[in-house]
Amino acid sequence: MSFLQDLHSCGLGDNIITDPELLKVFECDGLSAYRQLPKIAFLPETIEQTREILKICNKHEVPVVTRGAGTGLSGGALPVTDGVLLVMSKMNKILALDPVNQNITVEPGVRNIAVSEAVAKYNLYYAPDPSSQIACTIGGNVAENAGGVHCLKYGLTVNNILALKMLTIDGQLIELDAERNISGLDLLALINGSEGLLGVWW
């Protein structure tokens, strides 16, 4: 089957955008001097859908670029001509909140400010506060290792992430956490700031 046939056969059609006019919204991130329409934009709603799209892209050797809210200024979410733009904005749920241990589990499309809003009643907040925090997502923060003025005291995103799950291009799920990386290569730190080149996380 062709690439598109594979996509539609997996029941992913409702979240696939191929119309050039609709794709214009995704032609650049905050670095708007560089623009490129992707071949397809895909907006997954679950980890299973994300895994399927990655497996199909890997099978057909189609490049994948991951995008959060598109507020980054480094061109990290710039699509490629014949590739898939994986837009994580629909994965925007807060999954768990533990105010006693001061941690929260979120999907990658959750906005930075939404985390602080969710914990405000406990007199807590999420420390990394980039200037785009009203719109930018936690997944994008990990991609860029975002900071903000609070980073002078509390560190960058890498210093505030306890663990993450990541899918490789062939759909393998990897879990990384700070405790497991005490000895050896700190893979959790490696992922932060890698602009999605090593996997898709949440």
Are both 99 and 195 inside the same structural domain? yes
End-to-end, the C-alpha distance of the chain in Å comes to 30
For residue 48, give its domain range.
3-87
Q: How far apart are CA 61 and CA 32, in angstroms?
A: 27
The domain boundary residue, chosen from 53, 68, 87: 87
Q: What pLDDT shows up at residue 183? A: 60
Other beta carbons within 10 angstroms of residue 121's beta carbon come to 8
The domain boundary residue, chosen from 43, 64, 87: 87
Are both 115 and 162 inside the same structural domain? yes
Are both 23 and 51 inside the same structural domain? yes
Are both 50 and 128 inside the same structural domain? no
Are both 54 and 107 inside the same structural domain? no
Q: What pLDDT shows up at residue 180? A: 60
Do 191 and 184 meet the contact criterion of CB atoms below 8 Å apart?
A: no
The per-residue DSSP string of 54-93 comes to HHHHHHTT--EEEESSS--SSSTT---TTSEEEE-TT---
Number of domains the chain contains: 2
Are both 109 and 196 inside the same structural domain? yes
CATH number for the domain including 41?
A: 3.30.43.10
Q: What is the pLDDT along the chain (202 residues), one digit of tens a residue?
A: 788 888 877 777 778 999 999 999 999 999 999 999 999 999 999 999 999 999 999 999 999 999 999 999 888 899 999 999 999 999 999 999 999 999 999 999 999 999 999 999 999 999 999 999 999 999 999 999 999 999 899 999 999 999 999 999 998 999 988 766 556 678 888 889 898 888 887 6
Q: What pLDDT shows up at residue 177? A: 83
Q: What pLDDT shows up at residue 23? A: 95
The domain boundary residue, chosen from 37, 63, 87: 87
Do 29 and 66 meet the contact criterion of CB atoms below 8 Å apart?
A: no
